Structure 1
Amino acid sequence: MADLGPIVSRRWLFRQWLLWTTVCWALLSVQVLNQRGISLGFLVQQWVWTPVLHEYERVYRQVQDWRDRWRTMNELAEENRRLRAEVFRYQQMERQYEQVLQEMALLKPLYERWQARRPSSLWARVVLPDVHAIRWHQIVIDRGSRHGVHQYAAVSTPDGLVGYVESVGSTTSQVRLVSHPFFRCGARVGTDGPMGVLYGQGNVSRVLLRYVPQGSVVPPGSPVYTSGIEGVLPAGLRVGWVEASRTSDTGEVLYEVRPAVVPSQVSWVIVDVVGVTPP
């Protein structure tokens, strides 16, 4: 293995020479600066501390600027949340206002009809859920004997016949719907067409018109009204429209009628309170 002693010695001598040369140059520089009245502290201040202080001030100003921006962003976010909550509240108010308008649009024809027939009718609200009307073909209204309601009084809407009062309490009444299996009433096709008897079928979308004279022409789409021949319901209340016809096993022509009123969508009704109560 080669002897590295001479090389190491030369490198060590070079480093020692460079170190002492640097020290001597530094001492000489300090002596020269002292002769000229310039201290080492002044140089350190000018070359080290002043740039460091300037950099610190710059960084501090930048941090302050970022903090102000962050504070402004938080304020804007809080304002945004507040505005969103305000918009949501106004949207709820708008929906409530639309519901009120819909309720008013529903009540207006009822009120107009009630005003026109004020001595003989009153308005009532349905107080049981829709499933009661669909399952049992009955509804309950918030008017009773205290308000002048009597049994077999006609119950209708501006669209047409709903049914008649089956039983009366002091403050509520039970209404039998047109679709009830035991519902019966006289009916007429059109204003001066043939008459028959309307039968409920336990189906809210179909009722049956029977006993129409043979040879009568009843085209589909013909309106069907109450005839009042049975002396219970007043004449002229719309029941629905003829949808189709079929012939029974006995040769009788049966007409399927689509009711004008959907019971599950009824909220307000008109009750006739003046008339002769059947025995």
Structure 2
Amino acid sequence: MPANSVITPDKLARLIGLPGSPTIIDVRANSEQAVPGSIFRDVASPLTWARENDSGVVIVDSDGSAGASIAAVLRSDGLAAEALEGGFAAWRAGGHATVSLDSLPPRHDDGRTWWVTRARPKVDRIACPWLIRRFIDPEARFLFVAPGEVLTVAVQQHAEPFDISDDRVVWSHRGELCTFDVMVEAFGLADHAPLAHLATIVRGADTDRLDLAPEAAGLLAISLGLSRTYADDHAQLEAGMLLYDALYRWCRDARDERHDWTSHTPTRAKTSA
């Protein structure tokens, strides 16, 4: 049984991609792959980033040899902190999803990746930021601008353009795939079954192929409704995060559950004659 100061890979895997999950801090140098949702910090100065998240912190090192001591320092400062048992080596050995960092855009001086896309988002331009914040860079910044300004702003602000029709843009539709599909594949997450199923739903809603999944029509309807409910793109993104959190959790845990008038009615006890 693991100590209270560590978390097992299996337990952490159940928290990945969910709202309120712990902040995952990777202290390895020159990493090509990582636990999804990780942020990266200098191992030499843990107290400078101690107040990361009210939900707690998980430290990921290479093999578990350094994470425990860093977590202990953070706990001494009043933060709920654990080390990943066995480090990233144990995570990979357990067959858990990893995110490839090769395709990650350069980070700004603030340590965050910056992205830019067209204003008034509908499907892909909410789904992609959700994917990035939950699995790739939780601290990512998103800029919404007029369609004709995306590439100009990308250059001026050193932001990565996405979901715009231009051959120079890496993150956009490719054949029958939507931008969300392209990101899932490029960041090495295509084998994560819940995300793969979610990608099919997003593709159906975003490319007018509602036959791909029964849920695609519902996602399209809710997405269009959100777009008309919020005048501010960032407020819409925050609302959309909850939508995709719920849809991802359904893809992961609830696809076999059914609901009707009697499905959750408690069984009545038999009465004696």
Normalized per residue, the structure richer in strand is 1
Q: Same fold (TM over 0.5)?
A: no
| TM-score, normalization by structure 1 | 0.19
Greater C-alpha Rg: 1
